[in-house]
Amino acid sequence: MLSTRKSNWGRWGESDELGALNHLTPERVLAALRLPKTGKTYSLSIPIQRSGVPNLEYRGIPQRLTLTNHQDEAMARANGGAPGVGANEDQLVMPSHTSTHMDALCHVYADNKIYNGYPADQVTPYSGAAKCSIDKVGGIAGRGVLIDVAASKGVDLLEPGYVITVADLQKALDEQGIELQTGDLVLIRTGWLEDYLANQGEMMPQPGIGLEAAAFLAEKDVALVGSDNAAIEPIPFDQNVYLGGHIILLVEHGIYLVENMNLAELAADRCYEFLLTIGALKITGATASPVTPVAVG
């Protein structure tokens, strides 16, 4: 184990595949519904497209292909459609870990095990993950909290590769007048994505939360951690531990991760506490899903 506290394995039973989302009880969801003050909605995702957004080469570039258009009206006529009536349809070909996406608990393993001790070798080419896949998630609604580390440090963008510490998180929280609660959906702003989209900068290195900061969030019993970078943790990895933050959050504690989040508008409005909703695509056996998180301030 990389973190200092006991893991969440077995906390909600030996057969649990939901992880820290178990914290989102009906009572906590109802409390989150009372948070919005203005009713303003914030879409926290970025476009899914071939260029101009963070895409990792080994994953391949998302493709939107035209399936039917005005050239296929013969199909409409054959089915009784009047002249000038038809349909436009697309085919989408893309990695599950593309654009703004949520990692399932089966995404990363350590010591040959995923969350709750399930074997890591139960992901097959045809069926996908036998345990803890993204289709187990369901709908998510809860108290969202923005921790604007970049603003706390008085910068637009944290330095490439900067390791966010516990002190950094706590300082930002104190300045914002926010205390973390059990089941929170925590979003961390580094400024990296805004800079990348504006300047088409380099993918690597990136700022992100270090191992101690990940353990701190796990200790606070949060349900989800999102960030405006591509890995939540910094790249290069803190203390040279490959996927160390993922291991602490996903594997040890069943805390979901949402990467490449657009937090600029929330930050500009200084909206630090809000209702947050997320719906993952119900892809059987998948290790992740593109998502469009929506905050209501």
Residue type, 238: D
* pLDDT value at residue 5: 60
pTM reported for the whole predicted model: 0.94
* pLDDT value at residue 200: 83
Q: Give burial (CB, 10 Å; 0-12/13-18/19+) of 270.
A: exposed
Residue in this structure with the two tokens 């301030």, named with its chain if needed: 297
How many C-beta atoms surround the C-beta of residue 90 within 10 A? 11
By DSSP bridging, strand 139-148 and strand 185-189 are parallel
* pLDDT value at residue 227: 98
Which residues in the chain belong to E strands, given as ranges?
A: 41-43, 63-68, 89-93, 101-103, 123-124, 128-129, 139-148, 163-164, 185-189, 208-209, 224-227, 256-259, 273-279, 288-290, 294-296
How many C-beta atoms surround the C-beta of residue 284 within 10 A? 11
* pLDDT value at residue 75: 84
Cα(19)–Cα(16) distance, rounded to whole angstroms? 7
pLDDT along the chain (297 residues), means of 10: 78 97 98 98 95 87 91 83 89 94 97 97 95 96 98 97 98 98 98 92 92 97 98 97 97 98 98 98 97 98
* pLDDT value at residue 3: 63
* pLDDT value at residue 72: 85
> Both tokens of residue 104?
């399932």
Cα(123)–Cα(99) distance, rounded to whole angstroms? 23
User: Which sign does the torsion angle of CA 138, 141, 142, 146 carry?
Assistant: positive
* pLDDT value at residue 16: 98
Contact of 33 with 39, CB cutoff 8 Å: no
List alpha helices for 238-280, DSSP H: 244-246, 253, 264-268
Cα 35 versus chain centre, distance: 21
